[in-house]
Amino acid sequence: MNTALWITASVLALLFLMAGLMKISQPREKLAASGMAWAEDFSPGLVKATGAVEALGALGLILPAALGIAPALAAWAALGLAATMLGATVVHLRRKEAKALPVSLVLFLLAAVVAWGRFGPYAF
């Protein structure tokens, strides 16, 4: 199970790092035009802050445990990313964006599983 948690955390880290860097590096208008219509409802600063949270969460999933420096932070990063995806689910529900819901829910579930495993029976 430890291997499965590492693989899941690695996939999540890659996805959240890519998504976060995209939100940080691109203007809100370009994000909205590329399919992230929700960005129109938020200030540019909040979109960039969301990207920063995602990128830092991605790093937090892997680096603490891999470096052996405060490895318990990986569980907290997973919990934070799960909370972020709950927020994304609420935004998509309010905007009636049914196509975006499955992705948000799957990412939430994967992050929640990693948090459960790292807080619980497979903690570092």
Structural domain of 74: 2-119
Q: 90 in a domain, yes or no? A: yes
Please state, for a pLDDT cut of 90, what percent of the chain lies above it. Answer: 99
Is residue 102 assigned to a domain?
yes
Helices then strands, counting H and E runs in the chain, come out as 5, 0
State pTM to two decimals. Answer: 0.93
Please indicate, yes or no, if residue 18 is contained in any of the structural domains.
Answer: yes
Can you spell out the DSSP letters for 76-94? Answer: HHHHHHHHHHHHHHHHHHH
The b/e string for 2-18 (b: 16+ C-beta within 10 A; e otherwise) is eeebbebbeebbebbbe
Q: What is the pLDDT of residues 42-82, one digit of tens each?
A: 999 999 999 999 999 999 999 999 999 999 999 999 999 99
45, part of any domain: yes
Q: How far is CA 81 from the centre of its chain?
A: 4
Of the chain, the percentage scoring pLDDT greater than 70 comes to: 100
Residue 48 domain-assigned (yes or no)? yes
Q: How many domains does the chain have?
A: 1
Contact 50, 91 (CB under 8 A): no
Assess if residue 40 is contained within a domain: yes
Residue 124 forms part of a structural domain: no
Tell me the HSE value of 118 on the side-chain side, using a 13 A CA sphere: 29
Q: Do residues 96 and 37 touch, judged by C-beta distance below 8 A?
A: no
pLDDT above 90 (res 124): no
Residue 96 lies in a domain: yes
